[in-house]
Amino acid sequence: MKPAAFQYERPRDEAEVLDLLAEHGDEAKILAGGQSLVPMMNFRLARPAVIIDIGAVPGLGEISRKEETVAIGTRVRHIELERPPFNGPLSSLLATAARHVGHIPIRLRGTFGGSIAHADPAAEWCLLARTLDADVTVASTRGERVIAASDLFQSAFITSIADDELLTEVRLPWLSSDWKAGFSEFSRRAGDFAVVAVTSAVRLADGHVAEARIGAVGVGAIPVRLAQAEAALVGQPLGPVAINAASDVAGQEVDPRADIHGSADYRRDLVRALIRRALS
Ligand SMILES: Cc1cc2nc3c(=O)[nH]c(=O)nc-3n(C[C@H](O)[C@H](O)[C@H](O)COP(=O)(O)OP(=O)(O)OC[C@H]3O[C@@H](n4cnc5c(N)ncnc54)[C@H](O)[C@@H]3O)c2cc1C
């Protein structure tokens, strides 16, 4: 399988990327790890006239703690997040989620920012970004802006990033040691995209849940936050009673569609079971 003909550009800095995006607009596509774009081009599902390879652009591949956030540069590879350069609940959460992203060869090339920009409805990084309320920084020749994850994902594979914008960095909130984070996923085979994946983060104070974040993918076109399940946890001691109650609420709160992988009820059951595991 071969892609349709395209013009290949390999800019040496971010300014050059932005100039190329401004010049070519929706005719152009950024090439990051190529793990989604290249298969789509080979199947002729995408036919960009211009490919802008950001592989040689310096400064987009760092992970750093910035105030109360962790900033992940767009070119950070999935595999790097299996061992984040910091400790704590966010580190464990990233490491667990990273191991569910495809297989090792995909994790060696695919990028964090590429996954967010691609917005696959089952992507682990989109799930974490939405559940933790990430801030996504994008740049263009018009300037820089920050998009809240809640405004980013519009539909399957559609985001609010404009055609002339480059995603540069994603900031996740720092989770201090009073947070407990969990992740659980079901896929048909190891390395496959999730049928359903969930994540949770709860802040404990005096043994009770002071704040809760629960999210899921595989139950719609975009990642969802489960506000009712979160509300069911807050104020409760984090034990089996509260966990079972919140998981049941989550199963009722989602509104999945049936597809070749299972019925809507099956997905509701998965949400229930996976959230129970993540919280436990
Ligand atoms: C067999 C297989 C299994 C996989 N399993 C999973 C899985 O379980 N979970 C999962 O999440 N993913 C999975 N993937 C996809 C993989 O994670 C990709 O790496 C990821 O979706 C896209 O990242 P990338 O760097 O490869 O981006 P690319 O493929 O290079 O780009 C993807 C899209 O994002 C755009 N883009 C990339 N970077 C930017 C940027 N900085 N600014 C603006 N737009 C940008 C591109 O133009 C393109 O439209 C799988 C892929 C394969 C081939």
Which tens digit of pLDDT belongs to each residue from 220-235? 999 999 999 999 999 9
* Residue 257 within any structural domain of the chain: yes
pLDDT of residue 66: 82
pLDDT greater than 80 at residue 236: yes
**Which ligand 1 atom sits nearest the alpha carbon of residue 117?**
34
Q: What is the pLDDT of residues 155-175, one digit of tens each?
A: 999 999 999 999 999 999 999
* Residue 152 within any structural domain of the chain: yes
* Residue 58 within any structural domain of the chain: no
* Residue 94 within any structural domain of the chain: yes
Name the residue type at position 14. E
Tell me, yes or no, whether 77 and 167 share the same domain. Answer: yes
CA distance 4 to 220: 31
Tell me, yes or no, whether 162 and 185 share the same domain. Answer: no
Tell me, yes or no, whether 240 and 155 share the same domain. Answer: no
Last residue of a domain, one of 145, 173, 201: 173
CA distance 259 to 107: 27
Radius of gyration of the chain (CA): 19
* Residue 1 within any structural domain of the chain: no
Last residue of a domain, one of 148, 173, 198: 173
Last residue of a domain, one of 143, 173, 203: 173
pLDDT of residue 1: 66
CA distance 177 to 236: 19
| Percent of the chain topping pLDDT 90 | 96
pTM of the prediction? Answer: 0.97
Count how many domains the chain has.
Answer: 3
Q: What is the pLDDT of residues 97-152, one digit of tens each?
A: 999 999 999 999 999 999 999 999 999 999 999 999 999 999 999 999 999 999 99
Residue 40's domain is classified under what CATH number?
3.30.43.10
Tell me, yes or no, whether 194 and 262 share the same domain. Answer: yes
Compute, in angstroms, the gap from residue 115 CA to the centroid of ligand 1: 4
Pocket probe for ligand 1: among 30, 126, 183, the residue whose CB has the most ligand atoms within 8 Å is 30
Task: Give one DSSP letter per residue of the chain, joined into a string.
Answer: --PPP-EEE--SSHHHHHHHHHHHGGGEEEESS-TTHHHHHHTTS---SEEEE-TT-TTSS-EEEETTEEEEETT-BGGGGGS-SS-SHHHHHHHHHHTTSS-HHHHHH-BHHHHHHHT-TT-HHHHHHHHTT-EEEEEETTEEEEEEHHHHEEETTEES--TT-EEEEEEEE---TTEEEEEEEE-SSTTSPPSEEEEEEEEEETTEEEEEEEEEESSSSS-EE-HHHHHHHTTSBSSHHHHHHHHHHHHHH-----BTTB-HHHHHHHHHHHHHHHH-
Residue with the smallest CA separation from ligand 1 atom 6 is 102
Compute, in angstroms, the gap from residue 98 CA to the centroid of ligand 1: 13
Residue 70's domain is classified under what CATH number?
3.30.465.10
Residue 189's domain is classified under what CATH number?
3.30.390.50
187 vs 190, more confident: 187
Residues lining ligand 1, Cβ inside 6 A: 29-37, 39, 74, 101-102, 106, 110-111, 113-115, 117-118, 120, 123-124, 161, 166-167, 193
Q: If pLDDT is split at 50, 70 and 90, which confidence band does 65 have?
A: very high
Tell me, yes or no, whether 169 and 188 share the same domain. Answer: no
Tell me, yes or no, whether 47 and 71 share the same domain. Answer: no
Domain extent at residue 100: 63-173
**Which ligand 1 atom sits nearest the alpha carbon of residue 126?**
11
Tell me, yes or no, whether 119 and 154 share the same domain. Answer: yes
**Beta bridge mates, 53:** 31
Tell me, yes or no, whether 240 and 193 share the same domain. Answer: yes
Structure tokens at 199: 């994540």
Pocket probe for ligand 1: among 10, 20, 37, the residue whose CB has the most ligand atoms within 8 Å is 37
What is the residue-averaged pLDDT of the chain? 97
* Residue 232 within any structural domain of the chain: yes
Q: What is the pLDDT of residues 17-61, one digit of tens each?
A: 999 999 999 999 999 999 999 999 999 999 999 999 999 999 999
Tell me, yes or no, whether 165 and 201 share the same domain. Answer: no
**Which ligand 1 atom sits nearest the alpha carbon of residue 31?**
30
Tell me, yes or no, whether 39 and 70 share the same domain. Answer: no
pLDDT greater than 80 at residue 209: yes
* Residue 225 within any structural domain of the chain: yes
Compute, in angstroms, the gap from residue 37 CA to the centroid of ligand 1: 7
Whether 180 and 218 have beta carbons less than 8 Å apart is answered as no
* Residue 222 within any structural domain of the chain: yes
Q: CA dihedral in degrees (138, 99, 215, 158; nearest 10)?
A: 40
